[in-house]
Amino acid sequence: MWTFFLQVKVLGQNPELSKASDYFPIGIQLLFAIGLVTVMILGSQLLGPRRVTSDKLQNFESGIEQFGNARQPMAIKYFLVAILFVLFDVEVIFFYPYAVNFKGLGWDGFWAVLMFVGFFLAGFIYIIRKGALHWED
């Protein structure tokens, strides 16, 4: 391995520099993808049926007959629970790098993760005290 770096140093070449020809296969793949998408869209427009009926022009409500106004107010609890789920789910994902490298991180990594868990629990206690998960309203 060291001989490779010595040879590169002696010859004055930099293996990290790339040429434009290195990107040719990526360009071909990109053109192929754009062409395929274009052919699919145009093919569906040209070969697909064009029967416009009043039933097709109505809004689709998952098979349920529509009633009332769609702009009626909705409880914020649904959105709050969804946001909390995403927040805590993403925070749990940050434990993976620590679990993979916990031996190499040593005590500094342990204290950092302990502080992270402390902030995590502080946020969770704050949410519970504010009643974000209390549904009796």
Where do the domains of the chain lie? 2-130
Give 105's contacts (C-beta < 8 A, 6+ positions apart): 98, 112
CA–CA separation, 3 and 9 (whole Å): 10
Helix (H, G, I), strand (E, B), or coil: what is residue 60? coil
More confident residue, 87 or 39: 39
Confidence of residue 15 (pLDDT cuts 50, 70, 90): low
Confidence of residue 30 (pLDDT cuts 50, 70, 90): very high
Handedness of CA 10, 12, 17, 23 (dihedral sign): negative
pTM: 0.41
In the predicted model, is pLDDT for residue 37 greater than 90? yes
Phi, psi of 2 (to 5 degrees): -65, -30
Average pLDDT over all residues of the chain: 79
Into which CATH architecture does domain 2-130 fall?
Up-down Bundle (1.20)
Helix (H, G, I), strand (E, B), or coil: what is residue 40? helix
CA–CA separation, 98 and 96 (whole Å): 5
Residue-wise pLDDT tens digits, 48-105: 888 888 877 777 767 667 677 777 777 777 777 888 888 778 888 888 888 888 888 8
Residue 88: how many CB atoms within 10 A of its CB?
Answer: 14
